[in-house]
Amino acid sequence: MSEGWNIVCENLTVRYGAGENRATALMDFNGSFIPGKITVVFGPSGSGKTTLLKAVGTLLQPTEGRVNYNGKDPYKMLRKELLDLRREIGISFQHPLFVSQLTLWENIELVLNSSGKLDERHRELAYSLAEQLGIKKLLSKKPSEVSGGELKRASIVMSLSKDPSVVILDEPTAYLDEESSKKILEVLEGLREKGKTIVVSTHDPELIRVADVTYRLRYGRVVEARGDSGI
Ligand SMILES: Nc1ncnc2c1ncn2[C@@H]1O[C@H](COP(=O)(O)OP(=O)(O)O)[C@@H](O)[C@H]1O
Ligand SMILES: [Mg+2]
């Protein structure tokens, strides 16, 4: 029994702005993200990676087209159903978001609490992830007291400690040295073994190499799809 969700995108299109400023960030994306596979989205800056991840992560309603979670459109779900689904989606943003007055650990607890998962099992998971990513000693620090790369790793711990079924990581190895990037890869491979649905955007050739499925974007369109994303 797999852990993740089948996510299928049909003709997903996202436009920003209005009138003269209207611009298409993602055009007619057709693709799927499946449990037990690492799916990587890559392409130059501005090609639509973050937009796609936000739309898939139920944070940005597509202008046209659909996202289906096990056949259901989250943007048409009842509020309660959508909130339950969001508890099972762990997102780490390209530019991590933290509450600046709280320590890294308190930020992690805040996310666990908002997902109804502030219990020993999830605290333990957070500690072990922090240890694996080499930031356990920094958990009592405030976001302003650690480096960009450390904050990035903390944001990954934050998104994964709720043990979500769907993991969405926007450029998880950006700003990281080789050793830290390798640890992120190991974490991703562990999640794949657990059968999670894993969606990652990156410029990192190593990450592209371990992917099971890849989509290369350019100007908001898929210019190359590789791997078996069939369901
Ligand atoms: N909130 C926004 N408002 C207007 N345009 C945006 C917004 N976010 C992104 N864009 C534009 O959409 C395009 C795709 O952006 P993005 O998805 O962030 O690409 P990537 O993550 O590949 O760098 C870019 O041209 C970007 O300038
Ligand atoms: Mg981006």
Q: Where in the chain are the domains?
A: 7-226
Cα gap 14→150, rounded to integer Å: 32
> Which ligand approaches the C-alpha of residue 14 most closely?
1
Q: What pLDDT, in 10s, does the model give residues 31-59?
A: 999 999 999 999 999 999 999 999 999 99
Three-class SS state of 157: helix
Residue 228: which pLDDT band, with cuts at 50, 70 and 90?
confident
Counting runs of H as helices and runs of E as strands, what totals does the chain give?
7, 9
> If you measure from the C-alpha of residue 51 to the centroid of ligand 2, how many angstroms do you get, rounded to a whole number?
7
pLDDT at 220 (0 to 100):
97
The two structure tokens encoding residue 177: 């040295």
Full-model pTM:
0.96
What b/e sequence results for 185-217 when a residue is b if at least 16 CB atoms lie within 10 Å of its CB, and e otherwise? Answer: bebbeebbeebbbbbbbbebeebbeebbbbbbb
Residues with CB under 6 A from ligand 1: 16-17, 23, 25, 43, 45-51
Cα gap 54→168, rounded to integer Å: 9
> If you measure from the C-alpha of residue 49 to the centroid of ligand 1, how many angstroms do you get, rounded to a whole number?
8
> If you measure from the C-alpha of residue 1 to the centroid of ligand 2, how many angstroms do you get, rounded to a whole number?
33
Strands (E), the chain: 7-16, 23-33, 37-42, 64-69, 89-92, 166-170, 197-202, 213-218, 221-226
Instruction: Specify whether domain 7-226 bears CATH 3.40.50.300.
Output: yes
Atom of ligand 1 nearest to the CA of 23: 5
Q: What pLDDT, in 10s, does the model give residues 82-100?
A: 999 999 999 999 888 999 9
- In a mutational test of the pocket of ligand 1, which residue from 41, 51, 92 has the highest number of ligand atoms less than 8 Å from its CB? 51
What b/e sequence results for 34-67 when a residue is b if at least 16 CB atoms lie within 10 Å of its CB, and e otherwise? Answer: bbbbbbbbbbeeebbbbbbbbbbbbebebeebbb
